[in-house]
Structure formats: C-alpha cells, structure tokens
Amino acid sequence: MAQILIVDDSNTVRSEVSDFLTKNGLSVSVAVDGMDGLAKLKADSGIKLVVSDVNMPNMDGLTMAEKIRGELKNNHTNIIMLTTENSPIMKERGKAAGVKGWIVKPFKGDAVLATFKKLVQ
C-alpha cells in the first residue's frame, strides 16, 4: 500500500518526486496520466494523497480530480496539483473539483515535505 500517488506523464518528474518522498520515509506509487491515476487509486485504498500534473495525454489532472470526487465518490483523498500552469481559471476549476492545493513546478521537496506528511496521517 502506498500513501502518496504521483501522477505525471514525465518520467523525470515521477522519479524526482518519488525518490525525494521515499528517501523521506513516505511510500509512493506512480501513474503516467489521469486514466492510470484513477485506476491506481481504485486499486489501492491506502492512498491518502494524490500529487498530479495538469497537462497530460489521455486524461488531464483536473479531469482526473473531478472523476475522483464524482465517479469514485472519493472525498477523503487529498489532491494537490503539481504543474507549470498558474492560471486563476484552472485553479478555480481545481478548487471546484475539491483540489486541496497547487504547486507551480519545479518541485522543491523541502518546501512541501512537512505538509505532505500531515496530509497522509
């Protein structure tokens, strides 16, 4: 069982984020796009936090967040977007979908580790 699911189409980002979190004592699984993310979340009830990119092929991160709350009826898993996007419109869509927070890439692990640890408790 993983505590955190990293969803990003970039292997570089998946590796960077998951390596950092694993080294800091958190268990992590990864998904390559929103569809994969939904499947991984369905299959692992232990996931407490989803950290997802926005722009991805097949299914984007905001659509995935809407489906997590809608189709999966999962209102307990925290969702944080990790993206190059910083548009207020996208953030509003994220808020409406129940997204808990927003990080503009690049990922700076030390800046978010303490909060991630709280969110998976």
* Residues at the site binding another protein, with contacts judged by CB under 8 A: 9-13, 55-57, 80, 83-87, 89, 91, 94-95, 99-108, 111-112, 115
Cβ of residue 114: shortest distance to another protein, in angstroms?
Answer: 10
The residue whose two tokens read 């009826």 is: 73
Q: Of 22 and 86, which has the nearer Cβ to another protein?
A: 86
Alpha-carbon gap, residue 39 to 109, rounded angstroms: 26
Phi then psi dihedrals of residue 113, to 5 deg: -60, -45
In the chain, which residue ranges form alpha helices assigned H by DSSP? Answer: 11-23, 34-43, 61-69, 88-96, 109-119
Cβ of residue 61: shortest distance to another protein, in angstroms?
Answer: 11
Cβ of residue 104: shortest distance to another protein, in angstroms?
Answer: 5
Q: Of 1 and 89, which has the nearer Cβ to another protein?
A: 89
Q: Is 114 in contact with 19 (CB distance < 8 Å)? A: no
3-state secondary structure of 58: coil
Q: Is 97 in contact with 65 (CB distance < 8 Å)? A: yes
Cβ of residue 34: shortest distance to another protein, in angstroms?
Answer: 12
Q: Of 29 and 33, which has the nearer Cβ to another protein?
A: 33
Q: Of 29 and 78, which has the nearer Cβ to another protein?
A: 78
